[in-house]
Amino acid sequence: MNPNSRRGFIKLAAGSAAGAALWSAAGIPSLAWAKADALAATSLADGIVVISGAGANVLAVRGSEGLLLVDGGLAARSSELLSLALKQTGTRKIHTLFNSHWHPEQTGSNERLGKEGVRIIAHENTRLWLTRKIVTDWLPKGYGPLPAKSLPNKSFYTRESLEFGGETLDYGHLGQAHTDGDLFVYLHNANVLAAGGVVSAQGWPVMDWQTGGWIGGLVGAYDRLLKVANEQTRIVPANGPVLLRKDLQTHRDMYFTIFDRLVKLLVKGQGPEEVVAAKPAQEFEAEWGPSDTFVNAAFKSLWGHYAPDA
């Protein structure tokens, strides 16, 4: 069994106490709520490193200005994460931080870096969410609001680019997908794509319908990512191992299948409990784990698009 594959990870997690801790209160296997024993760094190129174990994958890119990060891990792991990122890339300071969306495992370094005057970039919807307390089904205790200095100090709406460390970085909004503020960051020279929370490589993602995500938009976000990536692009998901374009296509096809089935069940007048009982994602569970929580949230995410008066 290869523990680095999704199938291997899920089997390993199911058979160990440590793995069981990866199952969040929402029933979703994710590194987002794990307290990993140690952080791990994987080099993708000279000065480009992926760090896992801090709640989500963090992409670190070295430049003459300092270090650029895509996502910042959980607040509880921020100090050791930043120290490791600087050490692994041979840099002395953080220059730029991207928040791929508002979730705690992406924005946990905002407060520490915001106080230092670091440039924090996010979609405007993400910035707005972080100005208030957010309570969702999967995060009932809530999150935020972040202090003023912790908020993104540069926001955007559609798509922009910047030069950093000899790299041209494109970054863009992925629409209403896993939240309504998801973004990607693409490094042209290195051919590395940070996909943020839209892409999970360790079980089902959070379908955050209460902050603007929906499954039809998730499929659309994959379509956008597939247009950015080529066959050699290394794709950094929110959690799990680095992927290739063919993996994105497989994910996209699976989500479209589930989306299509959910719409048909909605049209038949079925409710969440009936839809979950129908098991519209059952054939994917051997690789992705129990699907009930994802299906329930994905079905509810349709309401604002197909049944606005429900």
pLDDT of residue 307: 67
126 pLDDT above the threshold of 70: yes
Whole-number pLDDT of residue 41: 97
pLDDT of residue 309: 57
Residue (of 81, 52, 49, 72) closest to 62 by Cα position? 49
Rounded distance, CA 50 to CA 241, Å?
Answer: 10
pLDDT, position 8:
37
By residue count, the chain amounts to 310
Please state, in angstroms and rounded to a whole number, the distance separating the CA atoms of residues 48 and 42.
9
Number of folded domains in the chain?
1
Residue 13 confidence class, pLDDT cut points 50, 70, 90: very low
Task: For residues 62-75, give the mean pLDDT.
Answer: 97
Does residue 10 fall inside a structural domain? yes
**pLDDT number for residue 11:** 35
Backbone φ and ψ of 203, nearest 5°: 85, 180
pLDDT at 279 over 80: yes
- Determine the average pLDDT of the residues in 51-66: 97
The mean per-residue pLDDT over the stretch 214-232 comes to 98
Q: d(Cα 199, Cα 52) in Å, to the nearest integer?
A: 15
| pLDDT (0 to 100) of residue 3 | 32
Contact 87, 60 (CB under 8 A): no
Residue 265 lies in a domain: no
Domain ranges, residue 234: 6-259
Average pLDDT over the chain reads 89
Residue 14 has pLDDT above 70, yes or no: no
Over residues 104-113, the pLDDT tens digits come to 999 999 999 9
Stretch 122-143: mean pLDDT: 97
User: Over 90: is that where the pLDDT of 2 sits?
Assistant: no
CB 26 within 8 A of CB 300: no
Percent of the chain with pLDDT strictly greater than 70 = 87
Position 54 pLDDT exceeds 70: yes
Q: How much is the average pLDDT of 141-162? A: 98
Dist CA 129 CA 106 (whole Å): 13
CATH number of the domain where residue 28 is located: 3.60.15.10
**Burial class for 5, CB neighbours closer than 10 Å (0-12, 13-18, 19+):** middle
C-alpha span between 48 and 32 (Å, rounded): 22
pTM for this entry: 0.88
191-222 residue pLDDT tens: 999 999 999 999 999 999 999 999 999 999 99
pLDDT > 90? residue 92: yes
Mean pLDDT value across residues 100-123: 98
d(CA 219, CA 253): 8
Peptide bond into 104 cis (omega under 30): no
Give the pair of three-digit tokens for residue 54: 């801090």
Name the residue among 300, 296, 295, 297 with its Cα closest to residue 284: 295
The least confident of 8-12, 125-129, 166-170, 183-187 is 8-12
pLDDT score at 36: 52
Mean pLDDT on 5-28: 33
